[in-house]
Structure 1
Amino acid sequence: MILFVTTADTDLLTADRAVQGLPGEFPEVKAYNPANLATEEEQGEILAAAGNADVVVLRLLGGKRAMPETFDPLVRLCHERGIPLIACPGHQEWDQELVTACTVPPSELDTVFSYLIRGGVPNFQNLFLFLSDSYLGSDYGHEAPAEVPWEGVYHPDEADGMDAETFVASRFQPDRPSVALLFYRAHWMSGNLLTIDALIRRFEELGANVLPVYSFSLKHNPEGDGQANRTFSEILCGPDGQPRVHCIVNTMGMSMTDLDQDGATFATGPQVDYLDQLNVPIIQGIFSTGSEADWEKSDLGLGPIDTAMSVALPEFDGRIITVPISFKEEVSSNSPGQNGKMDARLQRNLPRTDRVDFLARLAVKWAGLRLKPNSEKKIAIILSNYPTKDARVGNAVGLDTPASVVNILNAMKDAGYHVTDIPADGDELVHRIIERCSNDTDTLTEEQLRLAAGHVSSREYQ
């Protein structure tokens, strides 16, 4: 039996698809994600499986910390019983603690790592064949790890491998809003695409061109050759360096920029130049790591991990944060263990239809603004007023917000927006605002109420 432990649910989905193509008599594959095993008893399932395994493969993002209670006992068990143990990191950089835990020669560790980091169903099939031939005494034969694109264009109606230039030429309609949809390469390789497909279909129903792009990383070039990240340089931008789209929906977590802290934290690195070059709104679509049921019943909504990965850190890129559009739900394996193939608890991202619709409509509207002349756009500038006193209109500690608004109005006028009668300075702006109504009930007059731009009844407000 082959035991495969990984912190990536997409690895489990890929493995499930891979074993379907293996010979009928192929040994059983047991697979676990330790992050999905909540209790000590469930964690013990990994140790029990390891005791009966012919080879154990770990792929751990975060190293041994991904299995704080189980890692050391598992390593001891494998060493004591002579069970081949292959421990790989979940990213491209080697982890010395994992390497030290291994009981196989470095060449075999490197081979397994190559299968895993390249990913995809064919590589996982050959990984399992390699493990069976090397440690279970079979003679199936296997191919070496194959290269798989680090980034590319995907569409459910198109064959894989189409380049961005051909895709845009064949599918984009002129004078339509165009939206790029970024998602993790792991979803493409594992077939975890239900939410992505739902977004693509909704964009197209709304009359938009959509450029779906999978990528290993937006932060670095995974080939490490010093060249630009192709997601930006060759897919999102055309040969002329101009963006192919009017708006980007990014479902990938974290920040694509480097974060530098010198008093304040701010974005740095070459990705900042790409963002400036693209100069289009980037909207964050949130793939939750939890279930929809947990999200529904939680007073907080998103948990701490989702908030950090999909809200706080993406804000450093200037992304527009929206709503959760996808949740992880447990699904049945296509290759159940009782049939002699794979035994695993699988989790797949499923779309939340109403949130997919909301995000798609929002993105198409943002994209549509790029097609509209500035003179036809209507912009609202909202100032804080807390506490609700006249002296607190536009209040912000250490900042002259009213003066900033005047500067913005002048910049908008220079950019072709229809802006007239701009106040001379921040003081004049605040006085004009107060004249047209106020939240300060101590000084509010009937004349101010009469001049108010609009009225909302207390019933409507509630």
Structure 2
Amino acid sequence: MADASTRIALLSTSDTDLLSARASGAGYAWANPSRTTDPDLATTIAGADLVVVRLLGSRHDLWPGLDAVRAAGTPLVILGGEQQPSAELMELSTVPIGVAAQAHHYLAEGGPANLAQLHAFLSDTVLLTGEGFEPPAAIAAWGFAERPAPADHTRPRVGILYYRAHEASGNNGFAHALADAIDGTGQASGVPIFAGSLRSAPDELYAALGTLDALIVTVLAAGGSVPATAAAGGDDEAWDVERMASLDIPVLQGLCLTSSRAAWEASDEGATPLDAASQIAIPEFDGRIITAPFSFKEIDADGLPRYVADPERCARVARIAVNHARLRRTPNAEKKLALVLSAYPTKHARIGNAVGLDTPVSAIRLLRRLRADGYDLGDTNQVTAILEQAASSGDDTAAGDALIHALIAAGGQDEEWLTAAQLTDAHVRITRDDYLRWTADLPAELTGAMTDKWGEAPGNLFVNDDGEIVLATLRAGNVV
């Protein structure tokens, strides 16, 4: 057990280091220099026998107050925040390089036990307390987290992938909360899995992920080997997601926001620019399906953040993932799909509008691919007739035009041309009762604003004489 009378200040930009230091029971003072003021950092290191700095960044990002630590002769260990040691930062330490390298090993493995032994190691080798220490204990690079009960393997299995550092520090409740929500659907089993990174993950991890029916990912994108080299105008071919794609399962992004739930709820934007980039925009390059925020960073009484899951948001993400997992086990011929084209502004000329893209031709080729892959488009209908005409003529452009004109004839969204007959004969109709049932769990503030703007449901826009909301659609078997 580390001697608590020896005071070591740990300044780390990794909150999991700080959580592990607290849980270790050793004599640590701690702070995250990325969000702590200079006076508070000075208070943290005051009276410390030794200072350890672990920084995700370069030497230029170091706290200037470390100059005073060095001048005072207090032993200083400076380390990088990645799994691999940073020679640039390590050489700034005042302890022997071998001591700094071993200190990095303790932190790279992580967890309360290793942080306790780090304290003992530095106390013994630098401060000469003679208390003894154990070498760093290896923590598995990846693994299945323990669950209260074994998963029901008769159901689809949905993985929740989160960082190994969260597992080591005990900050893994958010992943288990999402697994509980998946189990709670009664239609799938949640499988929490921890790992260091997808960029350098071992083949064994990918083999294990391939046994799942769907995967919710909370870690950074897998495509770039080095995050700093991923940039617009760079080498597009350097973004490689071949292993991710080879899983052949739906991969969803579960958002663990770096803001509190209160800040998220009060914000008009929802996600901060950092979260929007790292958890929404960049993961799309991996081909991930973006879901919703389900976990938030809350600060506790000691000033340390933990990931705290929100039950309602967990249920939302769980439903999305379970539906994808169940869909994967559904034969193509039984799947029901909707191909939705934009129509804004609501004029016939704007159906399928997309700048620089040929939406009608894309729709024809997508429908052709669906048919080839076994999806049920029916035998004889307007859509199959258009596809067969295109097959004989080889003219996808004409087929795309025919598809758009067929949608217009079905009603379109242009009020100036919409007829009572089109409203009456529409294939898809939504009754008032169905609409109210579908929107029953929306916030009253939102539904109230909609009622104030548009009147009581179903309103009077695109509504037939029976009070049903109608959609301009073409029906082709199981595809709308």
Shift of 1:30: 0.4
Q: Kindly indicate whether residue 213 of structure 2 is the aligned counterpart of residue 246 of structure 1.
A: yes
Listed one character per residue, the Cα deviations across residues 43-87 of structure 1 (whole Å, up to 9, x for unaligned) are 3221233342111000111234555xxx1232x112211111111
8 Å CA contact 2:297, 2:308 repeated in 1 = yes
Q: CA RMSD in A?
A: 2.3
Shift of 1:305: 1.2
Q: Kindly indicate whether residue 195 of structure 2 is the aligned counterpart of residue 215 of structure 1.
A: yes
Distance 1:97 1:365, change over 3 A: same
Give unpaired runs (5+ residues) of structure 2: 1-6, 388-398, 433-453, 460-480
Task: Specify the structure having the higher radius of gyration (Cα).
Answer: 2
TM-score w.r.t. length of structure 1 = 0.83
Of the structure 1 ranges 426-435 and 407-416, higher mean CA displacement relative to structure 2 is found in 407-416
Q: Kindly indicate whether residue 161 of structure 2 is the aligned counterpart of residue 182 of structure 1.
A: yes
Shift of 1:177: 1.4
2:15 aligned partner: 9
Distance 1:461 1:315, change over 3 A: farther
2:41 aligned partner: 46
Which residue, 175, 181, 184 being the options, matches 1:202? 181
CA distance in 1, matches of 2:32, 2:350: 52
Q: Kindly indicate whether residue 324 of structure 2 is the aligned counterpart of residue 324 of structure 1.
A: no
Q: Percent identity?
A: 35
Q: Counterpart of 2:103 in 1: which secondary structure?
A: helix
Shift of 1:97: 4.5
Shift of 1:368: 0.5
8 Å CA contact 1:54, 1:135 repeated in 2 = no
* Number of aligned residues: 410
Which residue, 403, 410, 421 being the options, matches 2:361? 403
Shift of 1:91: 0.2
Q: What amino acid is aligned across from residue 460 of structure 1 in structure 2?
A: A
Q: Counterpart of 2:74 in 1: which secondary structure?
A: coil
8 Å CA contact 1:328, 1:348 repeated in 2 = yes
Of the structure 1 ranges 139-148 and 280-289, higher mean CA displacement relative to structure 2 is found in 139-148
2:442 aligned partner: none
Alignment of 1:53-452 (within 5 A): 53-64=48-59, 66-67=61-62, 71-74=63-66, 76-157=67-148, 171-174=151-154, 176-207=155-186, 208-221=188-201, 228-233=202-207, 235-236=208-209, 243-257=210-224, 268=238, 272-332=241-301, 344-420=302-378, 421=381, 422=384, 423-424=386-387, 425-452=399-426
Shift of 1:101: 2.5
8 Å CA contact 1:255, 1:315 repeated in 2 = no
Distance 1:376 1:426, change over 3 A: same
Listed one character per residue, the Cα deviations across residues 345-370 of structure 1 (whole Å, up to 9, x for unaligned) are 22111111100011111111110111
Listed one character per residue, the Cα deviations across residues 153-209 of structure 1 (whole Å, up to 9, x for unaligned) are 112337xxxxxxxxxxx64422x1111110110110011122112112222222313
2:29 aligned partner: 30
* Higher normalized contact order (CA 8 Å, seq sep 6+, divided by chain length): 1
Of the structure 1 ranges 436-445 and 111-120, higher mean CA displacement relative to structure 2 is found in 436-445
Q: Counterpart of 1:72 in 2: which secondary structure?
A: coil
8 Å CA contact 2:214, 2:325 repeated in 1 = yes
Q: What amino acid is aligned across from residue 181 of structure 2 in structure 1?
A: R
Distance 1:105 1:135, change over 3 A: closer
CA distance in 2, matches of 1:449, 1:265: 52
